[in-house]
Amino acid sequence: MEVQVVSGFLGAGKTTFLNHYLPALAGKTVLIENEFGEVGLDGELIQEDIPVREIYAGCICCSLAIDFRQGIKEIAEKFSPDQIVIEPSGVGRLSDIVKACQKAREKEGIDLTITKLIAMVDVKSFEEYREDFGDFYLDQIQHAGLILPTNMEGVEEKEWNRLLDEICGENPKAVICREDYRTFGRKELKTLVDAAEDYEEMSGGHPKPALPAERVFSSVAVEEVSEFSREQFDAVLNAFKCQDAGQVLRAKGILSVAGQRIHFEYTPFSYEECPADERKHLSEKAVVIGCDLDEEKVRQLFWVE
Ligand SMILES: Nc1nc2c(ncn2[C@@H]2O[C@H](COP(=O)(O)OP(=O)(O)OP(=O)(O)O)[C@@H](O)[C@H]2O)c(=O)[nH]1
């Protein structure tokens, strides 16, 4: 059974990529979604009709390591898939995910081979996050075989090339896609992923002890949400920007705004909203991830009298 990992920092575009990539895969696939927040949302946003196992409220490489191992074992027994694709939480180190997979193999006796390690990188936040989150952020780029830059709209060609060169500098061995992969057809996308080297297992070595993501980042899941007017919801987004409730790095959810159910996606570098997909019957909820979050204040933002 092959294991592929699609990593990327908070909001870098992992789920979007999976919606392009999963239909390009041959054979039986199962997806593992690991959400740092306490409510799962990404699993519901996957369009491909394949089994999805959601593991949330922490990282599969730290506090949820046992759930992860059991999850892999159950998937192997129940589905015997050709491949498992893992979308780790945005704050998970890719090197730790690899170790978690190797541990699953050792402890559960599962026959798995780690093949593609992919890192999605939002070019607009790259320099700031490299500076602010160093090891957490760079580990994904440094361990990937394939780097897919995202959020290139509005970036001038010269700046785009400079940023890609900077990203390549962090991992010269990786294949980097210099175009917007979303313009590729299924076949082209598969060829691109196949062009990246498979992960090479190395024996020995002592893993460096690393600070768990849970000590640096936190999340608040909000399931009691108001109905917002447009102005009220704009004030919530503004509060994120102004860091009124701590440093919000990612927020997403389904809410009722101005009488319409919307799906919103926030990062400090991008914002998107669209009508909620009513076919999925998603309940109204939101998840906020960041640093030094004031949980009470986050909840108050979503509850207007
Ligand atoms: N402009 C632009 N937007 C993108 C691109 N890829 C994803 N997005 C948007 O960025 C937002 C976050 O994308 P996701 O695919 O949910 O990112 P993610 O890495 O799965 O996010 P989390 O795991 O929830 O932190 C969504 O609004 C996407 O539509 C891209 O290449 N360009």
Ligand 1, residues at Cβ distance < 6 Å: 8, 10-16, 42, 90, 150-151, 153, 182, 250, 252, 265, 270, 272
Site to probe by mutation for ligand 1, drawn from 15, 155, 274 as the one with most ligand atoms within 8 Å of Cβ, is 15
ipTM: 0.98
Residue 153 is predicted with a pLDDT of 92
Distance 178 CA to ligand 1 centre (A): 18
Give the type of residue at 52.
Answer: V
Distance of CA 54 to the CA centre of its chain: 13
Distance 78 CA to ligand 1 centre (A): 31
pLDDT digit string (tens) for 138-187? Answer: 999 999 999 999 999 999 999 999 999 999 999 999 999 999 999 999 99
- Whether the pLDDT of residue 36 is over 90: the answer is no
- Taking the C-alpha atoms of residue 75 and residue 85, their distance in angstroms, rounded to an integer, is 11
Domain boundaries, the chain: 2-195, 217-302
- Taking the C-alpha atoms of residue 209 and residue 278, their distance in angstroms, rounded to an integer, is 45
Residue owning the nearest CA to atom 1 of ligand 1: 151
- Whether the pLDDT of residue 204 is over 60: the answer is no
- Taking the C-alpha atoms of residue 74 and residue 71, their distance in angstroms, rounded to an integer, is 5
pLDDT digit string (tens) for 210-266? Answer: 778 888 899 999 988 889 999 999 999 999 999 999 999 999 999 999 999 999 999
Give the pTM: 0.93
- Whether the pLDDT of residue 20 is over 70: the answer is yes
- Whether the pLDDT of residue 272 is over 60: the answer is yes
Indicate the CATH number of 217-302 among 3.40.50.300, 3.30.1220.10, 3.90.1200.10, 2.60.40.1180.
Answer: 3.30.1220.10
- Taking the C-alpha atoms of residue 207 and residue 97, their distance in angstroms, rounded to an integer, is 13
Indicate the CATH number of 2-195 among 3.30.420.40, 3.40.50.300, 3.60.15.10, 3.10.20.440.
Answer: 3.40.50.300
